[in-house]
A and B are shown apart, each in its own frame.
Chain A
Amino acid sequence: MIKFSLFRWWAIVIKEFIQMRRDRLSFGMMVGIPLMQLILFGFAINSDPKHLPTAVLIANHSVFSRTLTHALENSGYFQLVKIAQNEEEVNRLLALGQVQFVLTIPNDFARQLIRKEHPVLLLEADATDPAATSNALGTLNILIQNVFDRDLVGHLQHLRGKPPAVELRIHRKYNPDGITQYNVVPGLMGVILTMTMIMITALAMTREKERGTMENLLATPARPLEVMLGKIIPYILIGYIQITIILLVSRFFFQVPMLGSLKLLYGIAILFIAANLSVGITFSTLAKNQLQAVQMAFFFFLPSLLLSGFMFPFRGMPHWAQNIGEVLPLTHFLRLVRGILLKGNGWEDSVPEIIPIVIFMTVVILLGVLRYRKTLD
């Protein structure tokens, strides 16, 4: 048996260090990815979201309604952003996801309160993501016990105590039972598409470069657009197969409700797939080899996963992180899928989330085409 040689071992160690230093991008990633994770997990992520946008529909203005809205804001969980005018507006605000909660103070609220008729306060919550609402709702339940104590003075003092002077009725819309899977499983569709589409296309192009077959391809009359589109089509098909698998499993295994139009979902998906493919292709024009392509894909995937609202409530993040999230196509696709499946949103409700995806795609494609070279220069 040959003995372990320190010289030979050291020769390998030195060679590995040299090679590691040469591959600048990999080296950068080794430093960049932990830093990014530290920043995202350390600063951006918060599983106890506060200042959730809330609308109120006040049919009866009184000292009580003012007290209540103030109390909501003071709790830290609710932030009044809108005074709704009618029931229709309330529904629209929730469907578009512009607010997380809508509080309705009914007609005759003050009179009924004073008459000890225990008027009903209605709080509608967009409960697609149970994690985003649970703490706020818990706080509200406690808050309602004695919120009016300050107003119930003098001859009204007897209204304090138990049972509370008002009845709070909470409607968890879209996901009444607070089932996490309803939120996660449709979201997974976007995550899986992002991961596979970017990775596969980035690899497919760099593989041609690495193996030298790109030279052959460039020497033929094939044009860049033909090459790019030709490479994309099979992966679009794969994307649709993935969507179908996820939908089938969601429906029959997790019993996720599907209120909206699947046709609409399939239609919109092409934009999301195309956006991701354009990212993959642009990466492939930048990457020198397949390893770099994978690293770039990962570098894009990580913030997509963490900042899109897939893993953690979007509204729990600080504004800078939300701004980054708003750029990413996954953020908007998640809202689209959840909107269509859980809320039954239609085309018009979806447009505001489609536009950012299209803008993102256009910019990235432009970058890619600028970078793609028809020659080997």
Chain B
Amino acid sequence: MSNLVIEVKGLTKYFGKRCVVDNLALHVERGQIYGFLGPNGSGKTTTIRMLCGLLTPDAGQGQCLGYNILTQSDQIKRQVGYMTQKFTLYEDLTIHENLDFVARIYGMSRRRVRVSQSLEQLGLTERANQLAGSLSGGWKQRLALAACLLHEPQLLLLDEPTAGVDPKARRDFWEQIHQLSAQGITTLVSTHYMDEAERCHRLAYLAYGNLLVNGTVQEVIDHSGLTVWTVMGDNLWKLQAQLKSLPGLEQVVPFGNLLHLIGQDTDLLQASIAPLMTNSPYEWQLSKPTLEDVFISLMGHAQDHSL
């Protein structure tokens, strides 16, 4: 088996006449944490569902864990842990019953031992008989992860696993993903959080079914070619009003006492803001774009085919 856990190309999916995923190619190496980013409706969930056999691609081919994604989805399902966006364990079963159900579905040997180990790792042994529906958001997420790790999958497909989870729980969650990565388990995770994106080994940015960029965080930032000016000072809203529709200035983003001025064309941006910089009451500084700057810029350039 090659070192590529996911290797697909030409992946395409239509919902009716609408193209949700368009000719997508994806390469994910063993042990990598691969971040999947993009605005809502960009095809992240659809791509993940196609990878684990929940949806049939309309076109495309490739392998996942060495199995053909078109014909061998049963084998893929056995070795993939899929965590849905919504909590989709049974709310009317207890924590223990949910884990036990999953263990039985995968036909695991030493079921009892592994379920109780999993409960112990979760720290939920005491509450094993509590209904899953009564757990808080953070705990539900931990339980869902434990459930999809139970059958020791080689690949984790996590669809916005941390939506609505508090920062501490999110940090613990990523801690665990990194530990799994160290053990050689591959993770494909979709997220909207930039801090989470920065924790991934590689990123892919999807918009309207198209893969716009992919690479490491640094590569993505470097390849963006964006110039960012940071302006510091009080009453920045006055400046903001003056900045409207200046050539070369694509985004003006306020961050508290800071203003990010972002543009693709360094010289044009420079020329546009030069008059404002002279005798300015603000502090001007050339800085590096953040991941968020890059993504928002990408989103602005991408054509919305989805409507």
Contacts and interface: CB of A to CB of B under 8 A. Distances in A.
Interface of A: 211-213, 215-216, 218-222, 375-377
Contact of A221 (B54, B86, B106): B106
Given A221-B78, A375-B54, A216 B106 contact: no
Interface in B69-84: 74, 77-78, 80, 82, 84
Contacts of B80: 219
Contacts of B56: 375, 377
Interface residues of B, number: 21
Contact of A376 (B49, B74, B86, B102): B49
A62 B35 CA distance: 98
14 contacts: A212-B86, A215-B84, A216-B84, A218-B54, A219-B54, A219-B77, A219-B80, A219-B82, A221-B74, A221-B77, A221-B106, A376-B49, A376-B54, A377-B56
B89 A213 contact: yes
Most buried by B among A211, A221, A375, A377: A221
A211 B87 CA distance: 9
A215, A216, A377 — most chain B CB neighbours (10 Å): A216
Query: Which 4 A-B pairs rank lowest in CB-CB distance, beginning with the nearest?
Result: A216-B88, A219-B82, A212-B88, A212-B86
B276 interface: no
B105 A215 contact: no
Contacts of A216: 82, 84, 88-89
B55 interface: yes
Nearest to B159: A215
Contacts of A213: 88-90
A376 B77 contact: no
Contacts of A218: 54
A224 to B, nearest CB: 12
B71 to A, nearest CB: 13
B105 A222 contact: yes
A221 B105 contact: yes
B53 interface: yes
A230 B230 CA distance: 62
Contacts of A375: 53-56
A218 B82 CA distance: 10
A320 to B, nearest CB: 40
B88 A220 contact: no
Interface string B100-117: 001001100000000000
Contacts of B53: 219, 375
B54 A215 contact: yes
B77 A220 contact: yes
Contacts of A212: 84, 86-88
A376 B49 CA distance: 9
A296 B87 CA distance: 28
Contacts of B77: 219-221
